[in-house]
């Protein structure tokens, strides 16, 4: 017992209550929004049509097809570029209040900059947005979901400081073209992933191996670009368009077998705080623990400066408070313990954190090797965000389960119900959660895993030319949750 964290106990109590008849009703407030999420590269296809230029994912996968488990790519994927009406029909069947999708930067601005506005790209998103609104479905737009225009990678991509202005200008184009109808904007999706895998570990495009430096530069430019897009909105658009701008951050909930609360806090700062502390904390800037430790490590390596970029006072002030909501992608949890320090190991964010992760044998495993169901971790994460960032408004922008794609997807149903119960509990505990988007509307190109892992509420037949879709069992379950506002 002593080794269990307080949250594990809380979670245990919640389960007890729900299985007796003193029943806690897991319901949701009237204004809570249910939705589903997707991303452009994973569903659109039409990779080179109507003026779209390649993104780093198009090029990366074309040049290195062996990186993808089933050698699929983004050329057609779920064919949403041609199947817009099919997508709308699924959303109507589910009865969602909002749809989170991403815009392909390279479809709207093929050169990456504002000299190259592609009318056909703008038209596609206009049709999508208008059809959503005609059906009373609110659009939530992610501006950047991994698919940087290749043209911008040629000049360094996310490690070029100029990316901050490129992104701000791209955001300006989106606000001016779509902001009359789009009221929910997420600037970046999961910076932790594209920065670590893309610019440190070389496992995601652009496949750059610069551990210890690349990921820190990438995050630094991401938070600056995010804040620039936010400030631009406030200055030029907010009064008229009255929308909200946030960023989407992901992370696993840390548990400790020895109830090491200091280690848990450190892990949360390195994981969420790295991106969130500059934006959402009272003080601004990177978490103190990171400034200190990465600075010390860099000095010990004989460097002239810290691998964690120095954030000066004016940037700190500019970034602090630059968000209207916090987008949380939550999938899983981990037990953590201090990792052994090995002399001479390659510097990296991972080695700076110095944490070893494991899972609990009782957690159910999805098809994805990183995904274990730990709904209590979601409650724990929401409670930490509430405490740490002054009860900021939170949208759960992703949460979902992978399997082989079977229509009887009981694993997904259980995961969905278990996690939504924790969301309902969090709201009752005073957490400021205003929406939940399930990942994902339909099966899609799951990055390096191709179509071997499927997250969809709808099955996608990748062998049919029109990529026909079929509702899985979970569709009826989610539809009932949404219409009854209860799980």
13: contact with ligand NAG by CB under 6 A = no
CB 18, min distance to ligand NAG, A: 11
Interface with ligand NAG (CB under 6 A), residue from 136, 162, 209, 261: 261
Residue number with CB closer to ligand NAG (23 or 314) = 23
Rounded Cα distance, 401 and 416, in Å: 8
Interface with ligand NAG (CB under 6 A), residue from 69, 337, 393, 414: 393
- Phi, then psi, of 439 in degrees rounded to 5: -100, 110
Rounded Cα distance, 279 and 281, in Å: 6
4: contact with ligand NAG by CB under 6 A = yes
Piece of the chain touching ligand NAG by CB under 6 A; list 29-37, 368-376, 391-399, 417-425: 391-399
Active-site annotation holder among 151, 398, 446, 453: 398
398 is catalytic: yes
* Three-state helix/strand/coil letters over the chain: CCCCCHHHHHHHHHHHHHHCCCCCCCECCCCCEEEEECCHHHHCCCCCCCCCCCEHHHHHHHHCHHHCCCCCCCCCCCCCCCCHHHHHHHHHHHCCCEEEEECCHHHHCCCCCHHHCCHHHHHHHHHHHHHHHHCCCEEEEEEECCCCEHHHHCCCHHHCCCHHHHHHHHHHHHHHHHCCCCCEEEEEECHHHHHHHHHCCCCCCCCCCCCCCHHHHHHHHHHHHHHHHHHHHHHHHHHHHCCEEEEEEECCEEECCCCCHHHHHHHHHHHHHHHHHHHHCCCCCCCHHHHHHHHHHHHHCCCCCCCCCCCCHHHHHHHCCCCCEEEEECCCEEEEEECCCCCCCCCCHHHHHCEEEECCCCCCECCCCCCECCHHHHHHHHHHHHHHCCCCCEEEEECCCCECCCCCCHHHHHHHHHHHHHHHHHHHCCCCEEEEEEECCECCCCHHHCCCCECCCEEECCCCCCCCEEECHHHHHHHHHHHHCEC
Residue number with CB closer to ligand NAG (4 or 82) = 4
Piece of the chain touching ligand NAG by CB under 6 A; list 140-148, 225-233, 270-278, 390-398: 390-398
Residue number with CB closer to ligand NAG (4 or 231) = 4
CB 192, min distance to ligand NAG, A: 23
CB 244, min distance to ligand NAG, A: 8
CB 20, min distance to ligand NAG, A: 8
340: contact with ligand NAG by CB under 6 A = no
Residue number with CB closer to ligand NAG (91 or 186) = 186
Piece of the chain touching ligand NAG by CB under 6 A; list 58-66, 228-236, 296-304, 387-395: 387-395
6: contact with ligand NAG by CB under 6 A = yes
Question: Are 32 and 485 within 8 A, CB to CB?
Answer: yes
Rounded Cα distance, 236 and 231, in Å: 8
Residue number with CB closer to ligand NAG (6 or 13) = 6
Residue number with CB closer to ligand NAG (153 or 269) = 269
Active-site annotation holder among 44, 190, 350, 453: 190
Site string for ligand NAG, 64-93 (x = CB under 6 A): ------------------------------
Residue number with CB closer to ligand NAG (97 or 432) = 432
Question: Are 121 and 50 within 8 A, CB to CB?
Answer: yes
CB 281, min distance to ligand NAG, A: 15
21: contact with ligand NAG by CB under 6 A = yes
CB 6, min distance to ligand NAG, A: 5
136: contact with ligand NAG by CB under 6 A = no
Residue number with CB closer to ligand NAG (130 or 484) = 484
Residue number with CB closer to ligand NAG (218 or 433) = 433
CB 259, min distance to ligand NAG, A: 4
Piece of the chain touching ligand NAG by CB under 6 A; list 1-9, 134-142, 286-294, 334-342: 1-9
Interface with ligand NAG (CB under 6 A), residue from 203, 259, 452, 461: 259
Interface with ligand NAG (CB under 6 A), residue from 64, 136, 209, 391: 391
Q: 203 Cβ partners below 8 Å, 6+ apart?
A: 67, 197, 448
Q: Which of residues 410-439 bind ligand NAG (CB under 6 A)?
A: 432
Size of the site for ligand NAG (CB under 6 A): 10
- 327 CA to centre of own chain: 7
Rounded Cα distance, 215 and 212, in Å: 7
Residue ranges binding ligand NAG (CB under 6 A): 2, 4, 6, 21, 259, 261, 391-393, 432
Residues belonging to the active site: 190, 398
């Amino acid at each position: 017992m002593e080794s269990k964290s307080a949250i594990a106990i809380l979670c245990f109590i919640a389960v007890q209550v729900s299985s007796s008849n003193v029943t806690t009703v897991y319901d949701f407030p009237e204004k809570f929004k249910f939705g589903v999420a997707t991303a452009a590269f994973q569903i659109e296809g039409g990779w080179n049509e109507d003026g779209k230029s390649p993104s780093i994912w198009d090029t990366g996968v074309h040049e290195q097809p062996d990186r993808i488990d089933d050698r699929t790519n983004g050329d057609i994927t779920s064919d949403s570029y041609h199947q817009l009406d099919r997508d709308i029909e699924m959303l109507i069947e589910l009865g969602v209040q909002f749809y989170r999708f991403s815009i392909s930067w390279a479809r709207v601005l093929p050169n990456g900059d504002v000299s190259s506005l592609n009318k056909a790209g703008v038209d596609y998103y206009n049709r999508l947005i208008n059809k959503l609104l005609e059906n009373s479905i609110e659009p939530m737009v992610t501006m950047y979901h991994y698919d940087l225009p290749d043209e911008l990678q040629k000049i360094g991509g996310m490690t070029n400081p100029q990316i901050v202005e490129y992104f701000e200008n791209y955001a300006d184009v989106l606000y001016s073209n779509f902001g009359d109808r789009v009221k929910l904007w997420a600037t970046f999706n999961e910076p932790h992933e594209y920065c670590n895998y893309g610019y440190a570990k070389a496992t995601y495009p652009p496949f750059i191996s610069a551990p210890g430096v690349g990921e820190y530069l990438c995050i630094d430019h991401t938070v600056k670009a995010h804040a620039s897009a936010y400030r631009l909105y406030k200055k030029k658009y907010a009064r008229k368009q009255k929308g909200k701008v946030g960023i989407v951050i992901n992370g696993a909930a840390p548990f400790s077998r020895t109830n090491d609360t200091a280690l848990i806090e450190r892990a949360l700062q390195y994981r969420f705080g790295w991106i969130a502390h500059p934006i959402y904390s009272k003080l601004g800037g990177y978490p103190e623990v990171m400034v200190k430790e990465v600075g010390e490590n860099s000095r010990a390596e004989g460097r002239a400066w810290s691998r964690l970029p120095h954030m000066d006072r004016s940037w700190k002030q500019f970034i602090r408070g630059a968000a209207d909501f916090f987008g949380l992608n939550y999938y899983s949890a981990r037990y953590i313990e201090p990792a052994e320090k090995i002399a001479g190991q390659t510097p990296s964010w991972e080695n700076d954190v110095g944490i070893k992760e494991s899972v609990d044998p009782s957690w159910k495993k999805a098809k994805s090797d990183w995904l274990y169901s730990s709904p209590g971790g979601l409650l724990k994460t929401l409670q930490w965000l509430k405490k740490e960032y002054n009860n900021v408004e939170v949208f759960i922008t992703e949460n979902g389960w992978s399997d082989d794609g079977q229509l009887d997807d009981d694993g997904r149903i259980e995961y969905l119900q278990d996690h939504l119960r924790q969301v309902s509990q969090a709201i009752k505990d005073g957490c400021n959660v205003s929406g939940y988007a399930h990942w994902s509307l339909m099966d899609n190109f799951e990055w390096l895993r191709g179509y071997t892992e499927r997250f969809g509420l709808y099955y996608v037949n990748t062998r049919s030319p029109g990529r026909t879709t079929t509702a899985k069992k979970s569709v009826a379950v989610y539809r009932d949750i949404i219409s009854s506002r209860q799980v």
